[in-house]
Structure 1
Amino acid sequence: MGKSQKKRQMRRHNPMRVPDSHLPKGLASASASSSKTEAILPIIQKMESVDPLERKWACVAVSNLIQNDPSTRRLLQGKNIVGHLITRLSDSEEEVVVEAAGSLRNLCIDGGFDICAEMFNKNILAPLKTFIPKISTTLSQFIASPKDSPENAQKLVYEFADNVITILWCLSETSNKALNAINQISLVPFLMSFLASRDKLPLSTVTSAAQCLYVLTDENQPIVEEVRSNAEYTACLLGIVRPDGAAPKPNGKEKDTSDAKATAFRVLTCDLDRDVVLPTLEPVLSSTDLQEIAQAAQQAIDQQESIPQLESLSLKHTPKSDHKTPSELELERLETRLRTVQLALEILTGMCATLPDPEVFSGAPGGEDDNEDEDDEGMEDAEDIDMTIEAESSAAQGEAPNSPAFFTTLVAPLLKFVQPTALSFPPLGAPSPHPPTTSALSAIHISALECLNNIFLSMTTSARGRSSSLGLDSTSGRTVFEAVWGALRLVGTEVGVAGQERRREMWDIAVGVLWGVGNLFKGALIPTEEQIQVLTQFCNATSDVQVKVKTIGTLECLAQHPDSVEANRMISSYLLSLLPPNANPPTPTEPLLQAVSALIDIYSDENMPYDVNFRQGRYLEQLVQSVEGVRKAVRGIDRKKERELRVRGEEVRDNLVAFIQYRRGLRL
């Protein structure tokens, strides 16, 4: 069972805000599903107009059209809108350049990796590189003589800098090729200059710089070393996350979202120093109630004012790309809070991927005593989880001093972040009422599950498979298992429907958590018929080999509750059906090895009450019949390409033969 190690292609802090996987591919389908098809051609035509006002209008119109509208975004992509906008980055009129950058920024965030890859392939870095020294020079002048610079001019440059930085941030997550190209631009001094002057610059611009730096330092050693080797940079970052650190000041339109953005800013800058990570992240997690946020978002959605139609906009009244209604501002504020929680969970997941590390985490700030009051605030419907986990914190620290103390503190809030809300997933057969909020909520559920997966794997490793060595009793395991299972019940099993990919991702990661909990509390979890049926159906339905392995592992743990004889029979019968020659179609090699290993583990003690199933079901004969098929499967593993799997396969094969000999010798 592996930890959710950080992977660049999987760690997007700001994933596609308006998912479009449910839409059919192709321009025809995009045109059919878009309500703004007739507006596309005028935009493309005006993009090349000799009149700069028309060119500016066209750039702004793109941002207005794609807002929460993946069909129109795809239609514009089909008309080469990316190429047109990149051309406008070299426009002779500054305002056209600024608006083009703004539209490209919005396309990056709303369109995801594919559109970022298109931008990179169309050489967007060429014009972007020329902007960096110009922005730096202008900002230096503003900071040195703020009274000499008109407010409108400052606002224009700040917004332009924000757009350029955000595009670079999104591009850096597109591919290693794009990241390597961005590494050559020498962005760190540019980004750190924003953080160093944070008290003189708009919060949104400085936060974008922090976000870009955060992404660039994710498993990117050259940039990490550049930051850590510079004393001024590290002092600046530490100054931000300390409580008395100077923070950026919100401008007029940011006041309503300043608290959420200031928190996001601090979280973004804490990742390079573990000593400040937990004190920074803990308040973010303990003060967030997803159910409350979802309710507030729904209220804002219900009250949202209608957006002016494109047809009513004229060149005389150029649409403002930064205009937002009160309900839109509220939704933006809530999304910022949600994305900050997601980021905090990503950081924790990365930390837990390398645990246990007792020197770093034993007695770390943010332990149980520090968080007791905060955990209870705003966390309804989960008192049972709090009481179970927190009551064991002292015992866990007393009996296992090398076990990270924050495990017991974090499990309870993480379980709350796993629970879906009414807006967490699109309704079956219909789009979400507000896709950005839905995307952020589902991303939080998944990030929380990834963190739990790593926590329980680390606990199992440090406890050597014995929960008692951590001072945890069986009640803890059952509480966690039931909480995760309850979340999956709310997610539902309709995971193969187009547009519901996040539901499947929830299941894929959650079975890993269930396996981790099952391993730590083996024999203590009481299986239900529903759990067995759903897990076996899920295992059969999934095409992901690793998910099959995790599901089989979870069933193995459930089968070892001593008094659940019938549940044991149901599980073992299913595991036997995966073995050759009975399996039809044949079980993939890794799940096959897991099933064989599971059966050996389950029936290694003939004195268990459920061993009656092994004897009455004549399991020994079925295992004997499987030996040749298992040997064939192991021989089929390439020694060079899959060395570790081959070694494991040979071990399982030998264990199977030895187990058969052992059971024969018992003569039961």
Structure 2
Amino acid sequence: MGKKRTNKFPRPQFSPIGPMNSIKEEEEAGEVYSAAGDLLEKLQSANPDIREFACASISKLVQEKKVISSFLQKDVVRCLGPLLLDPSVGVRETAAGALRNLSACGGYDVCDEMVKQDVMTPLTALLQECCTELDAYGITSQKQKGADKPFVEDIANEAISILWNLCESSSTAVSIFNKEGLLDVCIQCLRQFNHNVELAISAAYCLQTISEDNAELLPSLIPSALQVLEMVLLSSEDNMEHMLLRTLAAGTVWNVKSVVPISSQANTINAVIRILSETLEKNTNQIILNLGEAAHAMPKVEAEIEMEEEMIDADDAVSNLKDGMQKTAHQGKAENMINDDISDLLPAQSEELKHATVLLAAQQTALEIIVNMCCSEDPSDDEWEEMSSSDESDNSMTEGAGILFSPPCLSAEVLSALVIYLIPKKVLEKTEFPDSGTVDVCMKYPSWQHLIAKMKRIQCRALTCLHNLLSVLDIEELGGPVALQGLSQHLAKLVFSQSELPKDSEFLEAVTSAIRSLLQRIASQNLPQSLNAQQLMILCEAGAQCENTSARVNVVAIMGIRGSALAKEDNTAEVLKMIGNFLLQVANKDSSLVVVGEALDAIIDVFADGKEAEKAADQMKLVQALKSLQPVFKSRIQKEGKGTLTPDQRLVLDNVKVNLKRFIAYQEALVKK
């Protein structure tokens, strides 16, 4: 929340993935720069229709990330910001839409820049005006746009989305949120959940973000604000949108649980976890299959008419862009942008697709909330996972937690609710997601294909969630030794059931985290490991090549855990040599000092004791290899430690450095005996 960015799950950036036109980059940049200037000039027009058109054109163009820098160079934020308070409500809405897309597609750096350029001043004024108008309108309005929805709700929806994006990225935006009392605006928008669930969802997303680790906000949560959250939690609407809304509200309530009266906290925790359980209970594979069949069961003639209408709409959009860009050579790029995958920023093409998208968002959110329940709040994702396992600590929970400090001590009420509402079971089910039939249905229809990435992300979130649950639940709460063995086989199947090992870095990070925690728990119970030596090497070699640092840390730790167990068994010297050589290679070649430190720490653990370990260390000349590596490691700590490492990471590396020196001395003493 409001950091640069230590969030456990960064929000996806909705930039297209398709290639741009094959125009020279220099020409391309010049054309975009010129087109940006033309559109920004139109923002100053006295004609509100021209201003609105320019805002709409910018809104479409900034969905392509490569275009954003040209608009920023032309001061697009300072040009659009005042239009949030334009006399024309149409201009206000399209200006807000353009800033929303800019913040969503530009990422954290662009959001920071928007805040620096003072976009929060007009945005705050707009939001406060919206709050006043929503109070005045109530649920019905005399000033309506088309149907039964007042202009103010559309504008508020766009403005709240901007606020959410900015507060995700900027602590300054969070401070302004707190200072200006924008909580009232979010609560007012949340109140509309019975008749405008879309606006309420935007407000709920913003509230969940802003309430995370925001102690300054807590005094503002007066009983009336908590009552609105309670009303949402208790709502009984049985549809996907309200399920997502309840899930987001549950996340907010969890974040602010410290202000809930002590007498109500147990009931509140139960309500939160019950809602998360209900969200995860949905059989998403079957629902998406049914929705897909329903969406594409229309008669052929009707389908053809719909397709023609969509093509006409797309052609009109491209034509408008061409006119607005004064027919520059950038027209072709605009066409590509219209056709690229920006599904999260565009309205769904059918109600069925909308329901499927919302369902996936709800389940992803539920898993992320559970992850946050079960993990330390202090370290960021890319910080080193453990202080050190070479201190001979017997705390298997700490070693398996995969965090810098000891695992969080969840209250008895939370642990009990997690078990009562079958959270471990439901999380495990999501690790199998998606099945091939669901993927096949989505692949048939272009507008549904983006759901596959969302389903795979849910699988990754479930694996991360499983990793954290393994760190906080007792063995019996996890189902006992038999369940752990079954889980080990399940994770091995996820990795090795396909002809080729998965290469997706997000999946590798998540699955290696889960395997790491599981192997630690299995080792603590002296249970047999299910991964054989060949599988272990295949997984770890793939992980070692992964660009994700956390995945590389995980596979090194997995090798250390497995090697430490093997060192206590007979006739394992050959496997220990294989493990030792792998860890040495990582320690010598990995670009991350954090990974190198983890590899050295694992070597110390594996070869600390045991006849088989001594035999393997002697055969692979481990001491000589470590002595040659030692000065390089010390030098890297001195050079890289000051600028790129956190204090905690530096402390861990210094600890490894000391332990490495002692280990080498110990091994040399053994040789002399």
- Give the alignment's TM-score, normalised by structure 1: 0.71
Letter in 1 for 2:54: A
2:52 alignment partner in structure 1:
56
User: What does 1:484-633 correspond to in 2, within 5 Å?
Assistant: 486-487=494-495, 495=503, 503-522=504-523, 524-528=528-532, 530-538=534-542, 540-542=544-546, 546-559=550-563, 560=565, 569-570=574-575, 572-576=577-581, 578-579=583-584, 584-585=588-589, 590-602=594-606, 606=610, 611=612, 615=615, 618-619=618-619, 621-623=621-623, 626-627=626-627, 629-630=629-630, 633=633
> Match for 1:193 among 188, 193, 198?
188
User: Is structure 2 residue 39 aligned with structure 1 residue 47?
Assistant: no
Structure 1 residue 329, shift from structure 2 partner: 3.8
Distance in 1 between residues matched to 2:457 and 2:27, nearest whole Å: 29
Structure 1 residue 36, shift from structure 2 partner: 11
Deviations for 1:252-302, whole angstroms, at most 9, x for unmatched residues?
xxx996455544554454433434221110010121425753895699699
Greater Cα shift, 347-356 or 531-540: 531-540
Secondary structure of the residue aligned to 1:58 is helix
Structure 1 residue 55, shift from structure 2 partner: 1.9
Distance in 1 between residues matched to 2:126 and 2:448, nearest whole Å: 34
Structure 1 residue 222, shift from structure 2 partner: 0.6
Contact 2:115 2:173 in 1 (8 A): yes
Letter in 1 for 2:131: S
Contact 1:620 1:660 in 2 (8 A): no
2:80 alignment partner in structure 1:
85
CA distance change for structure 1 residues 134 and 28 in 2, over 3 Å: closer, same or farther?
farther
Distance in 2 between residues matched to 1:78 and 1:297, nearest whole Å: 43
1:219 alignment partner in structure 2:
213
Contact 2:368 2:461 in 1 (8 A): yes
Letter in 2 for 1:17: F
User: Is structure 2 residue 226 aligned with structure 1 residue 234?
Assistant: yes
User: Is structure 2 residue 468 aligned with structure 1 residue 454?
Assistant: yes
Contact 1:474 1:525 in 2 (8 A): no
Distance in 2 between residues matched to 1:410 and 1:663, nearest whole Å: 53
Deviations for 1:131-153, whole angstroms, at most 9, x for unmatched residues?
13322221122118x46554659
CA distance change for structure 1 residues 513 and 301 in 2, over 3 Å: closer, same or farther?
farther
Distance in 1 between residues matched to 2:453 and 2:27, nearest whole Å: 24
1:177 alignment partner in structure 2:
172
> Match for 1:340 among 362, 369, 372?
362
> Match for 1:18 among 15, 20, 26?
15
Contact 2:368 2:465 in 1 (8 A): yes
Secondary structure of the residue aligned to 1:101 is helix
Structure 1 residue 458, shift from structure 2 partner: 2.8
Greater Cα shift, 166-175 or 636-645: 636-645
Contact 1:349 1:450 in 2 (8 A): yes
Letter in 1 for 2:372: G
Greater Cα shift, 166-175 or 449-458: 449-458
> Match for 1:106 among 93, 101, 106?
101
Contact 1:166 1:208 in 2 (8 A): yes
Contact 2:367 2:461 in 1 (8 A): yes
Structure 1 residue 571, shift from structure 2 partner: 5.4
Distance in 1 between residues matched to 2:618 and 2:450, nearest whole Å: 55
Deviations for 1:552-584, whole angstroms, at most 9, x for unmatched residues?
11123334359998987345334236449x975
User: Is structure 2 residue 419 aligned with structure 1 residue 367?
Assistant: yes
Secondary structure of the residue aligned to 2:15 is coil
Contact 1:418 1:448 in 2 (8 A): no
Contact 1:552 1:594 in 2 (8 A): yes
> Match for 2:454 among 406, 428, 440?
440
CA distance change for structure 1 residues 632 and 311 in 2, over 3 Å: closer, same or farther?
closer
Distance in 1 between residues matched to 2:62 and 2:449, nearest whole Å: 13
Structure 1 residue 548, shift from structure 2 partner: 3.3
Deviations for 1:238-261, whole angstroms, at most 9, x for unmatched residues?
2321356xx7xxxxxxx9964555
> Match for 1:116 among 103, 108, 111?
111
> Match for 2:432 among 392, 416, 436?
416
Distance in 2 between residues matched to 1:92 and 1:661, nearest whole Å: 83
User: Is structure 2 residue 176 aligned with structure 1 residue 160?
Assistant: no
2:199 alignment partner in structure 1:
205
User: Is structure 2 residue 488 aligned with structure 1 residue 472?
Assistant: no
Gaps of 5+ in 2: 258-268, 298-302, 323-342, 377-407
Contact 2:587 2:600 in 1 (8 A): no
Contact 2:144 2:151 in 1 (8 A): no
Distance in 1 between residues matched to 2:464 and 2:48, nearest whole Å: 49
1:351 alignment partner in structure 2:
373
CA distance change for structure 1 residues 520 and 158 in 2, over 3 Å: closer, same or farther?
same
CA distance change for structure 1 residues 195 and 543 in 2, over 3 Å: closer, same or farther?
closer
Greater Cα shift, 511-520 or 234-243: 234-243
CA distance change for structure 1 residues 348 and 471 in 2, over 3 Å: closer, same or farther?
closer
Secondary structure of the residue aligned to 2:528 is coil
Distance in 2 between residues matched to 1:113 and 1:157, nearest whole Å: 28
Contact 2:505 2:546 in 1 (8 A): no
The alignment of Structure 1 onto Structure 2 pairs a total of residues equal to 582
Contact 1:415 1:480 in 2 (8 A): no
Distance in 1 between residues matched to 2:437 and 2:16, nearest whole Å: 18
Distance in 2 between residues matched to 1:159 and 1:125, nearest whole Å: 19
CA distance change for structure 1 residues 225 and 565 in 2, over 3 Å: closer, same or farther?
farther
Contact 1:634 1:650 in 2 (8 A): no
Distance in 2 between residues matched to 1:108 and 1:593, nearest whole Å: 37
Structure 1 residue 521, shift from structure 2 partner: 1.1
Distance in 2 between residues matched to 1:103 and 1:18, nearest whole Å: 14
Distance in 1 between residues matched to 2:107 and 2:164, nearest whole Å: 12
CA distance change for structure 1 residues 590 and 630 in 2, over 3 Å: closer, same or farther?
farther
Deviations for 1:144-180, whole angstroms, at most 9, x for unmatched residues?
8x46554659521111111111111111011223322
Structure 1 residue 420, shift from structure 2 partner: 9.0
Distance in 2 between residues matched to 1:339 and 1:235, nearest whole Å: 25
Greater Cα shift, 584-593 or 86-95: 584-593
Greater Cα shift, 623-632 or 643-652: 623-632
Contact 2:567 2:606 in 1 (8 A): no
Contact 2:428 2:462 in 1 (8 A): no
Deviations for 1:478-508, whole angstroms, at most 9, x for unmatched residues?
534542662587696685xxxxxxx213223
CA distance change for structure 1 residues 631 and 168 in 2, over 3 Å: closer, same or farther?
same
Secondary structure of the residue aligned to 2:655 is helix
1:251 alignment partner in structure 2:
none
Greater Cα shift, 337-346 or 350-359: 350-359
Letter in 2 for 1:10: N
Structure 1 residue 594, shift from structure 2 partner: 3.9
Distance in 2 between residues matched to 1:636 and 1:60, nearest whole Å: 51
Secondary structure of the residue aligned to 2:180 is coil
Structure 1 residue 38, shift from structure 2 partner: 11
Letter in 2 for 1:357: L
1:136 alignment partner in structure 2:
131
CA RMSD of aligned residues (A): 4.9
Structure 1 residue 100, shift from structure 2 partner: 1.2
